[in-house]
Structure 1
Amino acid sequence: MPRLVLFGVILVAAVIIYAVIDCIMSRANEVRSISKVSWVLAIILVPVIGAALWFLFGRPSGGSGGSGPRQPRRPSAPDDDPDFLRNLEIRRRQEQKEAELKAREAELRAREEQQDRRSDDGKPGA
């Protein structure tokens, strides 16, 4: 029985320590309900209830609490992504330039053929 009590005390202490560290590592503007300092005091002064309340009502919605590096939010749709839109615009311009280049090449070939026909027509007796 004493071992079970000791295990329970260690478990409760670990949860409280984790709650305090999680609260301290959280960004102040993401903490819900009350201020960050108030949460730390609540967790320390009313250990079990304070830690439980922190996990239920105070912890940031993301669930990570601020531990570890945060990844920037990626747009949910391609038309919200500025990189995608920029690449789309670049691709559109390149395709437009290629189409203009092909049209110019076709025009030059047509002129060259026309000049060849004129020069062939002007040559005597072939």
Structure 2
Amino acid sequence: MVRVVIIGVVVAVAFTLYALVDAAMTEASRARGVGKPLWILIVVLLPVIGGLLWFLIGKGTKPAESARRPAPDDDPRFTGTRLSGPDLDATVRDLEERLRELDAETYPGEERGTTGAAPRESRGPVHPPAPEPPAKPADPADPADGTAPEGDRRADGDAAQP
């Protein structure tokens, strides 16, 4: 009889742990009835019964419908606002004119063609270039031509390696 009780307790603990991990790892949108944190609390406080309730009532098969949103191009409000050919051309011309005005404000004195802004390379840098670092003073031990000073030559005529 003791063996049956021990096996029953092990099965109950294993089932409760399985239900607890399942409740914790399931997406919150699939929890039915109450929120996901409350389901975890129910499984912990009511070990076997809480796990059974979680699998029978709490765990939904699909995410809640309110969590799904249609893609914008599936929404009739989105697709109904498309412009016809002439309206679209007028809108594009208006936007291009606004862009030219903004370019003229940003870069005064520069000529712009009718096709829009000039390429980035032709405008020049946005910020002035950083100044060059000062040149190092000449070191007599390290001449620029790569030869060693006269005092560093060995007897065989080769320059000494530092």
TM-score, normalised to structure 2, is 0.37
Structure label with greater radius of gyration: 2
Q: Taking CA–CA contacts closer than 8 Å with sequence separation of 6 or more, which of the two structures ends up with the larger relative contact order?
A: 1
Q: Please state which structure has a larger fraction of its residues in helix.
A: 1
